[in-house]
Amino acid sequence: MGFDRDFCDFLEYRICALFSTANNDEQKGYWCDGVVFDSMLDEKTGLFRAFTGKSGQEEYQLFVHLGRISAGLLQKNLEIQSCVPKEPCEDTFIVDITKKQIQMFLQ
């Protein structure tokens, strides 16, 4: 459970889905070819590397911010996939192409 390989694989596919439905012209054609967990920055923020972009090979920093529900589930060593955003939204999935950073806010 937690930020294991299964969760990273799940994030890879969810990021692809979020890019495919994004209304932002800059992100059209973006996809994700892998996600790797790096470290916890604090008790509610995980740092990952996401290989994304139009080639799927550009390295982005992915910050996963835990919300109240996901933090509680993670503390109990339960799956948090249901807390990951399903739709691209300005306040839950933020992509900064210039800085090569993605901010993802879980429930």
pLDDT of residue 104: 97
- pLDDT at residue number 24: 81
pTM of the model: 0.93
pLDDT at 1: 55
Nearest to 88 by CA among 23, 32, 30: 23
Q: Give the model's confidence band at 26: pLDDT under 50 very low, under 70 low, under 90 confident, else very high.
A: confident
Reply yes or no on whether the pLDDT at 90 is more than 90. Answer: no
Stretch 65-93: mean pLDDT = 92
Nearest CA among 63, 3, 61, 13 for reference residue 34: 13
Q: What is the number of domains present in the chain?
A: 1
Strand partners, 102: 62, 95
Task: State the residue range of the domain holding 60.
Answer: 5-105
